[in-house]
Amino acid sequence: MAGLLYVWRNLVQVAVSYPVGVLADRVGHLPVLIAGYVLGTLTAVLTALAFWLGIASVPLLAGVFFIAGLYVAVQEALESTVTAEMVQPDTLAMSYGALGTVNGAAKFISSASVGVVWTAVSPVVGFGLAAVLMAAGTLTLLRVKGN
């Protein structure tokens, strides 16, 4: 069943990526990216709650994975766009490289950290920690000029 939930998340990402781009072009890239990060935080909170409450309902988990698909669609569509808007044209390629490096390192560190906390303490604490850190990052991004 877990595999099908990830297929569902990927289908959601495919379905909403283009509309996310259209929306961002109309209302602004950074605000939509921030909204996507809020969805990412919500995904971590809901996952922690699902573990805490022992929820194994496939429809409820499908809802969590739906939100995750929305979050990933926004993140994938807009992080490089927002990066391009924040840097000078002569540093664009280097900035994309830095974005890739930071994202790769952060995904490694966050996955390893949640896994260690999950194993050593509990998945509730692991995903709770992820939610707190995601919320902190989102709040920090709110301070970016132009938002």
CA dist., res. 109 & res. 51, Å (int): 22
Tell me, yes or no, whether 71 lies in a domain. yes
pLDDT value at residue 144: 80
Tell me, yes or no, whether 7 lies in a domain. yes
Q: If we measure between CA atoms, which residue out of 67, 74, 135, 141 comes closest to residue 127?
A: 135
How much is the average pLDDT of 112-134? 96
Looking at the chain, the whole-number percentage of residues with pLDDT higher than 90 is 93
Angle of helix 58-86 relative to helix 29-53, nearest 10 degrees, comes to 150
Per-chain mean pLDDT for the chain: 95
Tell me, yes or no, whether 26 lies in a domain. yes
pLDDT tens digits along 67-96: 999 999 999 999 999 999 999 999 999 999
- Quickly tell me which residue has 């924040």 as its tokens: 86
Tell me, yes or no, whether 61 lies in a domain. yes
* Domain with 82 in it: 2-141
Tell me, yes or no, whether 126 lies in a domain. yes
Tell me, yes or no, whether 17 lies in a domain. yes
CA dist., res. 143 & res. 136, Å (int): 11
pLDDT value at residue 124: 97
Tell me, yes or no, whether 147 lies in a domain. no
Where residue 147 falls among pLDDT bands split at 50, 70, 90?
low
Phi, psi values for residue 143, rounded to 5°: -85, -5
Number of domains in the chain: 1
How much is the average pLDDT of 1-29? 96
pTM score = 0.91
pLDDT(146) > 90: no
Q: Which long-range contacts (CB under 8 A, 24 or more apart) does 27-32 make?
A: 29/78, 29/81, 29/82, 29/85, 30/82, 30/85, 30/141, 30/144, 30/146, 30/147, 31/147, 32/74, 32/78
How much is the average pLDDT of 2-30? 97
Tell me, yes or no, whether 146 lies in a domain. no
Residues in the chain: 147
Q: Where are the beta strands (DSSP E) in the chain?
A: none
